[in-house]
Amino acid sequence: MSEKILFVDDEPQILQAMERQLRNRFQVRCANSGAEALTIMQAEGPFAVIVSDMRMPAMDGVQLLARVKDLFPDTVRMMLTGNADQDTAVEAVNKGQIFRFLNKPCPITLMAPALALALRQYRLVTVERDLLDQTLKGSINVLAELLSLANPTAFSSGYRTKTMVGQLAAKLALANQWQYEIAALMSQIGCIILPSEILHKVHAGVPLEAEEEQTYKQHPAVGARLVRQIPRLEAVADMIEHQLLRWDEYAPDSTLDDDLRTGAQILKLTFDYDLAQHQGLEQREALHKLRRDADAYKPGLLELLMAIQPLTETMRVLSLRFQDISPGMIAHEDIFARNGSLIIPKDQVITWPIIQGMKNFAKHIGLVEPISVRVLDA
């Protein structure tokens, strides 16, 4: 009985009757108006089902359930009304995508089975979505790890910025926050077309020649084209495609959705910040560099990044033996095999596959130890 059901009606006696008759079978919450219902859903959600009366002052049932559809799309919506008018039913279904339309008074013998079906629908939708999201995110993580092994210079920044991107998306209360983290992981996939010389120049802070600049600017479009072939990642592809665009370069009539534009700006901001630190700037110096070019970023975004950055100031440097290395640590210096081969470049996030590769080198060639890594200070 963990899933919650919200009843909304401006008649207190009806709410009391519903709560009294259903509380032994369902977890019931009540609201006297549409505005109160939205407040409760925001503060106490998620709610599996909402059952709203049609005729209410200020905000009627159609308006309420249309808002719920936009704000809480997983919640199954049901309409309860004494008005059997067909036009009302059609409007409610069209605007709020109603799961069931019940006439009032509705006996418990009809209400209880309808609620059970609504809960079943909620479970089907959320379980399928969660399974799909986990499978998709797991697959993307595997792909990103393989890419970072193949070309750490190009792809390791996605791992380093993923957490920051997720924090910014959460602070901004952006919907589908998983998309933004995936966009970070896949943001550099288009770099597979770039010559290594260009990548090394970019990451070392060496100015590019005009022709090299044009070549480098092709990678977001290439990456977006690749990602767009993966089902459910169309929004991710849009963010990747626009990641190099400055805020002051967006056309006033841009058709890009505001959340996607914000996502692209988050990618740009976090990449620029990570790149500045990768080039040797301390945290404060990197932020100061971004502030000098504040017009490049959406207003308020840079300040938000500065607000979350105390989280990263708790990183500390450790010198460890190979057997003490664990996933999530960051290489503080280049890691070499004893024959002089570069195994892991500085600032690479160490993942489980990387540790397996290091184990092979340790067994057959040997590693230069101790290994210098950064970890979050507990």
Q: Does residue 110 form part of some domain?
A: yes
CATH number at residue 373: 3.90.105
Q: For residue 337, give its domain range.
A: 321-378
Regarding whether 194 and 333 lie in a shared domain, the answer is: no
Looking at residue 319, its pLDDT comes to 94
Q: Does residue 132 form part of some domain?
A: no
Q: Does residue 131 form part of some domain?
A: no
Q: 113 burial class (0-12, 13-18, 19+ CB within 10 angstroms)? A: exposed
Residue 311 pLDDT level (bands cut at 50, 70, 90): very low
Q: Name which of 117-126, 148-157, 356-365, 369-378 the model is least confident about.
A: 148-157
Q: Does residue 243 form part of some domain?
A: yes
The whole-number average pLDDT for the span 236-257 is 90
How many structural domains are present in the chain? 3
Regarding whether 341 and 310 lie in a shared domain, the answer is: no
CATH number at residue 260: 1.10.3210.10
Looking at residue 105, its pLDDT comes to 85
At which residue do the structure tokens 């009032």 appear?
104
pTM of the model: 0.63
CATH number at residue 19: 3.40.50.2300
Regarding whether 298 and 210 lie in a shared domain, the answer is: yes
| Sheet strands side by side (includes 371-376) | 315-320, 371-376, 330-331
Q: What is the pLDDT of residues 71-88, one digit of tens each?
A: 998 999 999 877 655 566
Q: Does residue 136 form part of some domain?
A: no
Q: Does residue 141 form part of some domain?
A: no
Q: What is the pLDDT of residues 10-19, one digit of tens each?
A: 999 999 999 9
Q: Does residue 139 form part of some domain?
A: no
Regarding whether 277 and 168 lie in a shared domain, the answer is: yes
Q: Does residue 39 form part of some domain?
A: yes
Regarding whether 274 and 348 lie in a shared domain, the answer is: no
